[in-house]
Amino acid sequence: MSENKFTCLHDKHVAQGALMSPFGGFDMPIQYAGIVEEHNAVRNAVGVFDVSHMGEVHITGPEAQKFVNYIFTNDITKMEVGGIQYGMMLYPDGGTVDDLLVYTMGENDYFLVINAANIDKDVAWINEQATNFDVIVDNQSENYGQIAVQGPEAEKTMMDVLKLDCTDLTFYTFKVVDYNGDKIIVSRTGYTGEDGFEVYASHDTIRDMWDMLMTAGVQPCGLGCRDTLRFEVGLPLYGDELTAEITPIMAGFGFFVKLDKEDFIGKDACAKQKAEGAPKKLVGLELHDKAIPRHGYEVCNENDEPVGYVTTGYRGISVDKSIAVALVDAAYGKLGTPLKVHIRKKYFDATVVKKKFHDKSYKK
């Protein structure tokens, strides 16, 4: 087993007493004050996350636009400089390689933000697809640190603490800012369902910013509450809701798969699933009891026959219920369908509900 990597803020997490655990090949902070306290700080005020483990890949060259549009499900030709799109890279069978953000830096100049656990796999995949395109693929993951400032007070915090005026940024846009001689990327994005910003910068700048945020008393947050926050608002985590076996159509993210654009990898498979119906569907489940459904637990029909499994489940924090997202046979995907979750020795009644358990509060 290989050693876990450290982010540029690792020593600070350890010094601040965070509970550390491996995630995506990195030794990451899971919690500082506690998942519930951090979760509530982000929903009600502001919190900051170290997300330096995320990967960054820069794609340039005469055919960069054509190439990125070929490996990505969303339609980047619709984007202007300063724009960001969410979408997926797919295998030809529609299974998901990764979900990612594409930042349009300039003409034929794109910045891809990918999941930490998938960096090696994604870079290999991108390079493999790039052989017939005139592009340069540059994995910059080790050069960037990244923090996410999230919550209703995020805009004020960016201004007051980091002296970054972000009032001009709308949801899913970014700007490149000269910050003490460092060219940094600031975007109005996040993974919590709240308003917020993400900053990509050199390790030194990220470390300085972290110190400023700590001095100002901003709550440091771990990956524990990042997961509860994103889960409650229906955002997927690669490895749970999107995998090589789960297409975006099954997962209910067809909106990000532009079947009307020119050819892209996985298009035919997605078009077929959309036309004929996917064999499986990602659904929300609400349990009638307090027992907690966890990743991997079996989901059964009323006759206790297995029809799927839980991809993510929690006792909600902003939602006071035991809730889950589950991948089930499509026949059981309708809202209101009674299902059961097998938890330890018992079967608990559940009902299919929308998989967005808590409303997002984005500033559009």
Strand, helix or coil for residue 362: coil
Name the segment binding other proteins (CB under 8 A); options: 47-55, 101-109, 155-163, 288-296.
288-296
Measured from the CB atom, the residue of 50 and 227 that comes closer to other proteins is: 227
Please state, in angstroms and rounded to a whole number, the distance separating the CA atoms of residues 90 and 99: 9
Q: Which of 151, 193, 224, 239 binds other proteins (CB under 8 A)?
A: 224
Amino acid identity at 14: V
Q: Which of 235, 292, 328, 341 binds other proteins (CB under 8 A)?
A: 292
Please state, in angstroms and rounded to a whole number, the distance separating the CA atoms of residues 263 and 268: 9
Told to check if 205 binds other proteins by CB under 8 A, we report: no
Measured from the CB atom, the residue of 148 and 229 that comes closer to other proteins is: 229
Amino acid identity at 196: G
The bridge status of strand 136-139 relative to strand 55-60 is: antiparallel
Q: Which of 7, 8, 29, 31 binds other proteins (CB under 8 A)?
A: 31
Told to check if 319 binds other proteins by CB under 8 A, we report: no
Told to check if 315 binds other proteins by CB under 8 A, we report: yes
Please state, in angstroms and rounded to a whole number, the distance separating the CA atoms of residues 240 and 63: 33
Told to check if 40 binds other proteins by CB under 8 A, we report: no
Told to check if 311 binds other proteins by CB under 8 A, we report: no
CB 216 within 8 A of CB 160: yes
Q: How far is the CB of 294 from other proteins (least distance, A)?
A: 6
Told to check if 324 binds other proteins by CB under 8 A, we report: no
Please state, in angstroms and rounded to a whole number, the distance separating the CA atoms of residues 29 and 9: 10
Told to check if 52 binds other proteins by CB under 8 A, we report: no
Q: Which of 78, 183, 288, 290 binds other proteins (CB under 8 A)?
A: 290
Q: How far is the CB of 65 from other proteins (least distance, A)?
A: 41
Radius of gyration (C-alpha) of the chain in whole angstroms: 20
| Alpha-carbon separation of residue 344 from 56, 133, 222, 306, 316 (angstroms) | 40, 52, 28, 15, 20
Please state, in angstroms and rounded to a whole number, the distance separating the CA atoms of residues 160 and 138: 34
For residue 73, what are its two tokens? 């499900």
Q: Given the rule CB under 8 A, which residues bind other proteins? A: 19, 30-31, 34-36, 224, 228, 290-292, 294, 314-315, 317, 322, 343-344
